[in-house]
Amino acid sequence: MSNDRKGYDVAAYIWPSYTGDEPRTRMFWPEGNGEWETVRNAGPKFPGHRWPRRPLWGYCNEADPRVMEMQIDAAADHGVNVFIYDWYWYDGRPFLETCLNNGYLKARNNDRVKFYLMWANHDVTHLWDRRISHIDDNVIWRGAVDRRGFENIGRRLIDNYFTHPSYYTIDGRPVFMIFEDRNFIEGLGGVDQAAAAVEWLDEEVRKAGFPGLHLQLNLWKLSDQSGVGAGGRLIDDADMERVGFRSITHYQYVMFVDIDRDYEEIIVDAEKEWERLSNDAPLPYFPHVSVGWDNNPRFKVFSPGIVKNNNPENFQKALEMARGHIDRRPDQPPLVTVNSWNEWTETSYLQPDDLHGYGYLEAVKKVFKKD
């Protein structure tokens, strides 16, 4: 660890589906406890396939503040000090908010782990419903919104989240990430219109007492793997700044490197991409580390593309590479994004399981937690 760093911000994405508190979730998971239903029903697709995996904490409701208090303590004790909540808006209203609103925000210790939001603005198909996830091009909800919808979103963000004392900021600016730039730009009507919408939100954030908004972009490179949205870049590098983005990162290895191979090979290519972006992109890049990828729990038939040998030891190597990347850039905030805290159905989670125990969390602690 470098001598001049006071600490690191290790930000793990949260998939807020492990609760059955919202009625609209039952169309995908009718048993009423969210995507735990899919995890429980998962099984091996071929000899040697390491499913099922089971959570050591049980199939707990993550919209329960007592559950989140336990998880917050476990995260903070192991060096995870930021949660990035996947946040959804469909059909003119929010979706899957109870994990955040009823779990994290009502947890008595939420000052131990900060949070920010990633607007997961992808279209919704039947991917989440294991019974019919094989159906293609069956869109239930569109992720794009127009200017009026964006302003409704912006007011909700400011009133409910940005002003919370645990909301994560960079240079005093609340951080808000966009998952898909294509849906974002097209919904608002083009680059110029998107820039105007962001300028409006930035001004509203200033009125709320902040120096402005820190808009972050999730980058895409590959989009041929199932289970991660439509993908694809719409704006070029020059338009990133024009729209109002201030930094970039990634959501998952599957979105920018070939994942159907050994983890140690993957992280070599991932680090090359970190370096390329840090050297060539017009905005600051924050390195991204994924635990793995295997979304077969969501399908009855085999879904190709599985990260191999993503054990805690190899995961720790990736974290050490990310720490080195950060340390070589002392003028940049010490932020690394991690997929994920709880993406069980994509097999990319830090939470303890019956295969590796607390191994992934211990890896984070060894690399980033100061004694």
pLDDT, residue 314, reads 98
Structural domains in the chain, sorted by start: 9-368 (3.20.20.80)
The partner residues of 185 in beta bridges, in order of sequence, read: none
pLDDT digits (tens, 9 = 90+) for 194-227: 999 999 999 999 999 999 999 999 998 744 444 4
Phi, psi (rounded to 5 degrees) for 245: -70, 145
Residue partners of 276: CB distance under 8 A and separation at least 6: none
Whether a cis peptide bond, with omega within 30° of 0, leads into 52 is yes
Query: Which of 17, 58, 11, 14 is closest to 38 using CA atoms?
Result: 17
Residue 170 burial (CB count, 10 A): 18
Which residues of the chain are modeled with pLDDT < 50? 1-4, 222-230
pLDDT, residue 224, reads 42
pLDDT, residue 138, reads 86
pLDDT digits (tens, 9 = 90+) for 94-143: 999 999 999 999 999 999 999 999 999 999 999 999 999 988 778 999 99
pLDDT, residue 230, reads 47
